[in-house]
A = this chain, B = another copy of it.
């Protein structure tokens, strides 16, 4: 259960701004499927539009990082933040972009290791080495 209504296609169709975003999601992804996140955001068409523009700008298309790498970074952040839905949706997205079982296993291994050393470092309150400093 969500704290907002998840709008159906019919309900979205009645809100011009939301409908335009849904059309663009479908065109960009070349798929008719629009997942629940967007159906929840559609209750606030302005927030929906701004969020989709962000996602489209950052996650879609060519860039300095491979799209699959971007999805794996997204999974890493979502895991550390404990966002269940986001873990599910971006793991599905990474698989759709070709993530192999071996890549997924390594992703899990890095995430688990970072979780461990993050906790050890914080418990010991290790001060940053001067060697890490950015030259200005």
Interface size on A, residues (CB 8 A): 83
User: Which of A12-20, A21-29, A82-90 contacts its partner?
Assistant: A82-90
- Complex contacts, A57 vs chain B, CB 8 Å: 50, 109
Copies of this chain present in the complex amount to 6
11 contacts between A and B (CB under 8 A): A1-B128, A3-B91, A5-B134, A43-B105, A72-B73, A81-B115, A82-B122, A84-B125, A85-B126, A86-B118, A115-B119
Residues of A bordering B, CB below 8 Å: 1-6, 33, 35-37, 40-41, 43-44, 46-47, 50-51, 54-55, 57-59, 63-65, 69-70, 72-89, 91-92, 100-129, 131-134, 136
